[in-house]
Amino acid sequence: GLKKKEVHVLCLGLDNSGKTTIINCLKPSNAQVQDIVPTIGFSIENFKTSGLSFTVFDMSGQGRYRNLWEHYYKEGQAIIFVIDSSDKLRMVVAKEELDTLLNHPDIKHRRIPILFFANKMDLRDALSSVKVSQMLCLENIKDKAWHICASDAIKGEGLQEGVDWLQDQIK
Ligand code: GTP
Ligand code: MG
């Protein structure tokens, strides 16, 4: 059959936000793992949508590994940025990392789509995606297409909507 167009995606965000859990959910069931552990460095994963074949750089969000992110910016054609909506204390840290990303020379002048997941929406003290969006000042992103989805990566809710949006931006 026809080979799907391949797209490189960077999955970024603080440690414990749920990046690996989200990517795991998007993989075909025979490739999913049961126990997800904190990512060391990064891991390369694959998943497909109806029209595209995604290669994901699932980066570790731990402070000591965040300096690895920028080495992959050049080859990224899309970004998935994951936020733990219940981690109010570190929302400012997530914003700092996002601002650093947006101001990086390999990202700043490119019209690269960014999908945000306001993840862990199942937790009682989770902020709404609107509130997360306000705290991260997403309205200030004028030169890139972006979209935010509330998600629950444990149940897999909200993920398909996000990935459908991403596919529409690229196709
Ligand atoms: P690093 O690899 O360290 O950067 O973390 P990560 O962003 O990949 O997070 P990971 O997917 O390892 O998930 C961290 C923890 O959050 C795990 O215990 C997950 O089960 C949990 N988790 C992920 N998504 C959700 C969610 O939507 N709701 C809840 N309640 N827990 C979640
Ligand atoms: Mg991980």
Residue 161 has pLDDT above 70, yes or no: yes
167 lines ligand 1 (CB under 6 A): no
Q: What per-residue confidence (pLDDT) applies to 3?
A: 87
Q: What per-residue confidence (pLDDT) applies to 129?
A: 98
How does pLDDT run across 114-160, given as a tens digit for each residue?
999 999 999 999 999 999 999 999 999 999 999 999 999 999 999 99
Ligand 1 pocket, mutate which of 12, 14, 15, 16 (most atoms under 8 A from CB): 16
Q: What per-residue confidence (pLDDT) applies to 47?
A: 97
Q: Read off the pLDDT band of 1 (50, 70, 90).
A: low
Q: What per-residue confidence (pLDDT) applies to 48?
A: 96
Give the other-Cβ count within 10 Å of 85's Cβ: 27
43 lines ligand 1 (CB under 6 A): no
Q: How far is the CA of 1 from the centre of ligand 2 (A)?
A: 33
The bound ligand whose nearest atom lies closest to the alpha carbon of 80 is: 1
Q: Read off the pLDDT band of 58 (50, 70, 90).
A: very high
Secondary structure E strands in 49-143: 52-59, 78-84, 114-119
Residue located nearest, by CA, to atom 19 of ligand 1: 18
In angstroms, rounded to a whole number, what is the distance separating the alpha carbons of residues 13 and 86? 14
In angstroms, rounded to a whole number, what is the distance separating the alpha carbons of residues 130 and 123? 16
Residue 96 and residue 90 in contact, taking contact as beta carbons nearer than 8 Å? no
DSSP 157: B
List the alpha helices (DSSP H) in 32-158.
91-102, 105-108, 129-135
Alpha-carbon dihedral angle through residues 32, 37, 41, 42, given to the nearest 10 degrees: 20
In angstroms, rounded to a whole number, what is the distance separating the alpha carbons of residues 141 and 135? 13
**Cα 26 from chain centre:** 12
Alpha-carbon dihedral angle through residues 88, 90, 96, 97, given to the nearest 10 degrees: -120
Kindly provide the ipTM of the predicted complex, given to two decimals: 0.99
List the shell of residues around ion ligand 2, using CB closer than 5 Å. 19-20, 39
Residue 53 has pLDDT above 80, yes or no: yes
- pTM value is 0.98
